[in-house]
Amino acid sequence: MPTALRKGPYRFYFYSYDCDEPRHMHIDRNNFSSKFWLDPDVTLYNNYGFSRKEVRDIERLLKENLKVLRDEWDAFCSGHTGTTKNS
């Protein structure tokens, strides 16, 4: 699972099998986790444990680092061969 970015207590990553989905990032801190779509805009998909304030902070970090995150996704997934979760 490629880590695209670390900022403060947060780890921004995606799974290698995620390349079949639209660009997005999973964000973890301790036992909390969330998933945000990156296109067309940064949008929360799900949240497990983060407060509303922390979700807003994470969204801000995503927007501030959007180019880097999209580039990391594209660099990894451009060589993706279409493997799915069940493969």
Helix (H, G, I), strand (E, B) or coil at 28: strand
Residue 72: what pLDDT? Answer: 95
The dihedrals phi and psi of 15, each to the nearest 5 degrees, come to -90, 150
| 85: DSSP letter | T
Q: Which two tokens stand for residue 85?
A: 């979760």
User: Distance between CA 55 and CA 16 in Å, rounded?
Assistant: 24
pLDDT in tens, 42-77: 999 999 999 999 999 999 999 999 999 999 999 999
Query: What residues are paired with 26 via a beta bridge?
Result: 13, 35
User: Distance between CA 81 and CA 64 in Å, rounded?
Assistant: 30
